[in-house]
Amino acid sequence: MIQVRSATPDDLPAIYDLVYELALYEKAPQALTATLADYQRDFANGLFEALVAERAGLVLGMALYYDTYSTWKGRMLYLEDFVVRESQRGQGIGQLLFDGFLRAARERQARLVKWQVLDWNEPALRFYEKNRAIIERNWWNGKIFLEAKAEGLS
């Protein structure tokens, strides 16, 4: 039985491990410069929330998100990262997490949810399209790293 629930501070090490697994999948482990201590501080300060999917006390996946605002649409929930352990994929865990994320957005009366997906990540693109997502191909990302240690990393 898989349970999806709101993350607690005790889940942060597992969430951090999942983010590292995602960084490996995206062939960019060096780009992960945030630390577990950063996660703990920022979670405690309410900067982000997460859902975890677990079975028998083992975290199998997570969806990490936060409130933001669209000047055109209003309240928005941004899905920062969404990952299921590679060994656990194909069991519907991702769908349970994504449905939980959408439910959280509706409960907050958000008018929009948003995220990014890499153009080469075909499994993710198929998943989002199956969920009737609009994949924008005409917007480009902009960013500036404010710490010297993060320069040159994506």
Q: Which residues are catalytic?
A: 128
Where helices occur in 26-92 by DSSP H, the ranges are 36-44
Report the distance separating Cα 35 and Cα 145, nearest Å. 16
For 104, residues 6+ apart whose C-beta sits below 8 A from its C-beta are: 49, 51, 65, 77
Strand partners, 51: 6, 63
Which contiguous run of DSSP H or E holds residue 52?
Answer: strand 49-55
Residue 101: burial class (beta carbons within 10 Å; 0-12, 13-18, 19+): buried
Angle 71-73-77 from CA coordinates, rounded to 5°: 95
